[in-house]
Amino acid sequence: MSDKNSSAEQYWRANLRLILGCLIVWALVSYGFAILLRPLLAGISVGGTDLGFWFAQQGSIITFIVLIFFYAWRMNALDKRFDVHED
């Protein structure tokens, strides 16, 4: 394997790790906090209801936005670090 190949391989693996991390958070806030784990969060009250309800109707959407911008920012930095960015 040449250097170029192993660097390309590293870039792709770094991307996969980043995607995996982001998807864990993505699943945790929506399927976790908002649906399956809601009974566990029932004790934490937010404006007349519980934290699970807030995640279902507000929190998960806000987290999704943060995740996409975080991913774009990290990936664009990775592109430069591994010298695969455009122009």
Partner 1 sequence: MSQFTINMLFVGGSFALYIAIAIWSRAASTKEFYVAGSGVNPVVNGMATAADWMSAASFISMAGIISAGGYGSSTYLMGWTGGYVLLAMLLAPYLRKFGKFTVPQFIGDRFYSSGARLTAVVCLIVISVTYVIGQMTGAGVAFSRFLEVSSTAGLIIAAIVVFFYAVLGGMKGITYTQVAQYVVLIIAYTIPAIFISIHLTGNPIPPLGLFSDHTQSGVPLLSKLDSVVRELGFQDYTADVPNKLNMTLLTLSLMIGTAGLPHVIIRFFTVPKVADARWSAGWALVFIALLYLSAPAVAAMARLNLLTTIYPDGAEQASIRYEDRPDWIKNWEATGLIKYEDKNNDGRIQYYNDAPAFQQTAQERGWNGNEMTVNNDIIVLANPEIANLPAWVVGLIAAGGLAAALSTAAGLLLAISSAVSHDLIKGWIKPDISDRGELLAARISMAVAIVVSTWLGINPPGFAAQVVALAFGIAAASIFPALMLGIFSKRVNSIGAICGMLAGFISTVVYIFLYLGWFFIPGTATFANTEANWLLGISPLSFGAVGAVINFVVALTVSAFTAPPPKEIQELVESVRYPRGAGAATGH
Region 55-84 residues binding partner 1, contact defined as CB under 8 A:
56-58, 60-62, 64-65, 67-69, 71-72, 75-76, 79, 84
What span, in angstroms and rounded, lies between the C-alpha atoms of 60 and 16?
22
Number of neighbours of residue 25 by Cβ within 10 angstroms: 15
Size of the site for partner 1 (CB under 8 A): 43
C-alpha to C-alpha distance for 84 and 68, rounded to whole angstroms? 20
Query: Nearer to partner 1 by C-beta: 6 or 31?
Result: 31
Q: Binding residue for partner 1 (CB under 8 A) from 14, 34, 40, 43?
A: 34
